[in-house]
Amino acid sequence: MFEGFETARIDVGEASVFVRFGGSGPPVVLLHGHPRTSATWHRVAPLLVRAGHTVVCPDLRGYGRSRGPRFTADHAGYSKRAVAGDVVAVMRHLGHRRFALAGHDRGGAVALRLTLDHPEAVSRVAFADCLPLTEHLSRITAEFATQWWHWFFFAQPDIPERVITVDPVAWYHGDPEVMGRENYDEWRRATSDPEVVRAMLEDYRAGLTVDRRHEEADRAAGARIACPTLVLWSLRDDLEDLYGDPRAIWRRWATDVRGHGIDSGHHVAEEAPEELASALTDFLRPDRDGLGERAR
């Protein structure tokens, strides 16, 4: 995986971030979701390098080979604000003060927080298979609770750790044929580590507490994303089924929203890498700000 890329472990204060980076040209950061690592981008990252970008793929705080602070009752050490700060620090360490950003799933929540907290750092942002956390929570239905029950299970103290660590491979359902063998092996090592499992649960616990409060404060203050925003969703996932056109919801948060669906299941970087890379490459071209009606 990641032929020609370098790896590093970067100390950003209270966290140590494992990162892959390669290529040259305008930088773009790819943020993975749960329960993946940066290896989920192994088919997309080389395509973006080929298109002329520097590509940076970190493991989010506590995921994969990144490590965060001790766990606390308020979950603040694993808040999206804390993780977004990691990404900014990593990029500055690598020499990039401004960059494009793409986040999938839980990585999308980090991308939102980073863009709102550090607007000067983000030139463009792409969200894949995600909405702001509060938009999900304000639309809870029986269908949402049935399909996304894990959000509320993960938020319980102690019980999820005890259940998941009995057989993490069975719990997380990885498929080496779909994921690619090296990606699968890395994912399996990570999800078999009880410390990683606990950190991933802290991500969800923060989501329902401190992250929710941060987003509610943003809405009350009228905060909006000013940079160009791309919204992508997997047509064989449930986001559109639950909410309709995700772009309509993201327009409550961003001024310039474009995007479309991709024929894929949820883990789009693994299942439809060419389509995802093509959408990102097109969006990252500076001359694409005047896109036509399809993209709007």
Do the Cβ atoms of 268 and 32 come closer than 8 Å?
no
Question: For this structure, is 75 an active site residue?
Answer: no
Closest CA to 203 of 55, 33, 52: 33
How does strand 229-234 pair with strand 27-31?
Answer: unpaired
Question: For this structure, is 173 an active site residue?
Answer: no
Which position among 86, 105, 129, 237 bears the catalytic label?
Answer: 105
Residue the block writes with tokens 């890498």:
273
- The catalytic residues are 105, 266
